[in-house]
Amino acid sequence: MFWIGCHLSAAKGYLAMGQEAERLGANVFQFFTRNPRGGSVKALDMTDIEAFIAFAAEKKFGTLLAHGPYTLNPCAAREDLREFARNTMKEDLARLELLPDVMFNFHPGSHVKQGEEVGIALIADTLNHILSDGGKTPVLLETMAGKGSEIGRNFEQLRAIMDKTEQQERLGICLDTCHVFDGGYDILGDLEGVLQEFDRIIGLERLKAIHLNDSKNPMGSHKDRHEKIGEGTLGLTGIEGVINHPKLRHLPFYLETPNEAEGYAREIALLRRMRKEK
């Protein structure tokens, strides 16, 4: 099965997202757990959730990806900001428990002059706190472009966070193709080599999702500017390599390209044509 979808707005609820995904040719999708800048959430609508669960089962949807607000900083220098990140993520995870097949993805954070070692320790503290709730939702750390003091700019930093976390079996990685290329990993020229490095440092069994994005900038630029599929520095060659690689093709792919709905529909159709039969 080719699990392909895109980022959708959660404003109209789960069933509306499912119907929109189907209309765009997707069988998975990503959404923000709340306003990406943080803020409060609407009360859960159980009727909507149940209708979505039935819809997703009927249409044979794959695993959804819930993205935490990107302004949270689990390794902020101020304790009140870290506490806000912890509480928000914990509340998000509690709400996601109602969905049968979803993973939670978040940006590890920025160490803001505290240094990477302190940042890594604080992120692990946050994870130990939020994973203590006994839930089932897998929690994914996203590979980052390494803008500013972002943690997650290389595989070693992600490994170090996981090593300090108690409930490692619930942890996974979401690999963002724009971010890793920006981080200096040559997924265009040597994808196999990059995946071998990932396997050696983190373990490929921990890789649970792909954010499928082209990049506006050359490899190693640490800028984090997504581009439409085929229009960036990865190009169709790079993207085609990723979606067809034997070690990746079973994973769900989520587009986060600069597109409106119709642009996403075109990209999904294009990717379906680029996907090779086994």
Looking at the annotation, which residues are catalytic?
Answer: 37, 67, 70, 107, 142, 176, 179, 211, 224, 226, 256
| Distance (Å) of CA 222 to CA 76, 145, 218 | 20, 5, 9
Compare residues 67 and 170 and give the one whose CB is closer to Zn ion: 67
Which x/- pattern over 67-86 shows residues binding Zn ion (rule: CB under 5 A)? --------------------
User: Going residue by residue from 126 to 155, which x/- string records binding to Fe ion, judged by CB under 5 A?
Assistant: ----------------x-------------
Select 32 or 52, whichever has its Cβ closest to Fe ion: 32
Token output for 165: 């976390």
Torsion sign over Cα 86, 89, 95, 101: negative
* Cross-strand bridge partners of residue 172: 140
Only segment of 16-24, 168-176, 182-190, 194-202 that touches Fe ion (CB under 5 A): 168-176
CB 225 within 8 A of CB 194: no
Q: Select from Zn ion, Fe ion, none the partner in contact with residue 211, using the beta carbon and a kind-dependent cut-off of 5 to 8 Å.
A: Fe ion
Q: Does 224 bind Zn ion (CB under 5 A)?
A: yes
Q: Is 214 in the site for Zn ion (CB under 5 A)?
A: no
Q: Which stretch binds Zn ion (CB under 5 A): 21-29, 69-77, 128-136, 222-230?
A: 222-230
Give the pairing of strands 226-227 and 214-215: antiparallel
CB of 182 to Fe ion, least distance (A): 11
Q: Which two tokens stand for residue 201?
A: 């440092």
Amino acid present at 232: G
Q: What is the DSSP letter of 166?
A: S
| Choices 126-134, 147-155, 216-224, 261-269; region in contact with Zn ion by CB under 5 A | 216-224
208 contacts Fe ion (rule: CB under 5 A): no
Output the DSSP codes for 182-224: HTT--TTT-HHHHHHHHHHHT-GGGEEEEEE-EESS-TT----
